[in-house]
Chain A
Amino acid sequence: MKASSIKFGIVTFPGSNCDYDCYRAVIDGLGCRADYIWHRTKKLEGYDCLILPGGFSYGDYLRTGAIARFSPVMESVAEFAAGGGLVLGICNGFQILLESGLLPGAMLVNRSLRFVCRFVHLRVDNDALPFTSGIKRGRTLRIPVAHKEGNYYTDAATLARLNSNRQVVFRYSSPEGEITSESNPNGSLENIAGICNAAGNVLGMMPHPERAVEKILGSDDGLQIFMAIRRYLASR
């Protein structure tokens, strides 16, 4: 498939605020096509990858992502994922994927109780996914986080399963790739920054790759993730 015929859908909820950044990353960064998909939409057709962008859907009321999961579009997102479609949830999008059960676990408030907004380093722990193929395992990416509820939590059995299935895709690390408590911005279990489902076609991550797609933004490491997706889709 040619890059220019690959089509992304950016699912937009009331309170999403990173939708335009994702749109620009896809259009300018990748040269692919993109549509905004309003949360009331029920039918999703012709999309190769769906992105659930960051923001504060429904004001983060009740719990982050808890109300958005009942939006009409989420049933179609679940169907799309069940059919093997690529779904990328970023920050609030990750929280929505957790609340909807498309990914296991939940988010707690950051251990510091603070909203953390800064660049972090992520170590790529699984490079065999559509989202990471071509990025060497063990490599670190410099990408910003911006959240107050990114303290990933799950029970011990699920954590063991995530580790044995290599579903932990990104961990907060030092620039050299060491997993340390100093490099963990929110207190997440085992420095988890991003996980995928068992099939590997649904990825949730707290850091914002769409905010690091040009050198002028401080880093273009985030573009690696978008390019991996394009590479995967183009090769089908």
Chain B
Amino acid sequence: MIRAEIKITLKEGVLDPQGVTLKRSLDTLGYHSIAEVRFGKLVQLRIQGTQPEEAAPMVERICQQVLANPVIETYSYQLGVDRDE
């Protein structure tokens, strides 16, 4: 199996209210050196096949079409092979 790990984050400059709130909490707890907190999403796919590079175009399409909203989000991903099987 091919494994894809996709990271989706808000674009730079787009306000992340969750991140702002957590930063405030961290500050209350004494972690004053935290300059910024940003939340994101992690999506894991297991894909039939053995050649990760062959899955790349499909993963790219899925990111563009469904997983990320280009108005507010960016994405990146890593492809690998499940060694356990």
Whether chain B is bound by chain A comes out as: yes
B interface residues with partner A (beta carbon < 8 Å): 10, 14-15, 17-18, 21, 66-67, 69, 71-72
In the assembled complex, A105 has its CB within 8 A of some CB on chain B: yes
CB of A194 within 8 Å of the partner chain: no
Contact A66 to B69, CB < 8 A, known contacts A108-B15, A113-B17: yes
Give chain A's interface residues, CB within 8 Å of chain B: 62-63, 66, 70, 98-99, 104-106, 108-113, 151, 153-155, 187
Q: In whole Å, how far is A99's beta carbon from the nearest beta carbon of chain B?
A: 7
Q: How far is the CA of A187 from the CA of B16 in the complex (A)?
A: 12
Contact at B17–A111, with CB atoms within 8 Å?
yes
| Residues in chain A near residue B71, CB distance under 8 A | 98, 104-106, 153-155
How far, in angstroms, from A112 to B17 measured CA to CA in the complex? 7
Q: Are B17 and A62 in contact (CB under 8 A)?
A: no
Q: Is the CB of A66 within 8 A of B66?
A: yes
From residue B16, how far is it (CB to closest CB) to chain A in Å? 8
Of B10, B15, B67, the contact of A111 (CB 8 Å cutoff): B15
Say how far A133's CB is from chain B's closest CB, in angstroms. 30
A187 touches B69 (CB 8 A): no
Closest A residue to B11 using CB positions: A155
User: Across the interface, which residues of B come within 8 angstroms of A151, CB to CB?
Assistant: 15, 17
- Which of B17, B66, B67 has a CB less than 8 Å from the CB of A110? B17
Can you list 20 residue pairs at the A/B interface with Cβ under 8 Å?
A62-B66, A66-B66, A66-B69, A70-B66, A105-B71, A106-B69, A106-B72, A108-B10, A108-B17, A108-B72, A109-B18, A110-B17, A111-B15, A112-B17, A113-B17, A113-B18, A151-B17, A153-B14, A154-B71, A187-B17
What residues on A are CB-neighbors of B17 within 8 Å? 108-113, 151, 187
- B14: which A residues are within 8 A, CB to CB? 108, 153
Q: Give A18 to B4 CA distance when docked, in angstroms.
A: 38
- Provide the residues of chain A in CB contact with B67, threshold 8 Å: 62
Nearest to A70 among chain B residues (CB) is B66
> A110 CA to B71 CA in the complex, in Å?
17
Hey, which chain B residues are within 8 Å of A155, CB to CB? 71
Q: Which single member of B15, B66, B72 contacts A187 (CB below 8 Å)?
A: B15
- Cα of A62 to Cα of B14 in the assembled complex, Å: 18
Q: Whole-angstrom distance between the alpha carbons of A155 and B18 in the complex?
A: 20
The closest CB in chain A to the CB of B65 belongs to A70
Q: How far is the CB of A155 from chain B (nearest CB, A)?
A: 7
Residue of B nearest to A107 (CB): B72
B21 contact set on A, CB distance < 8 A = 113
Which residue on A lies nearest to B15, using beta carbons? A108
Q: Could you tell me the distance between the alpha carbons of A111 and B69 in the complex, rounded to whole angstroms? A: 19
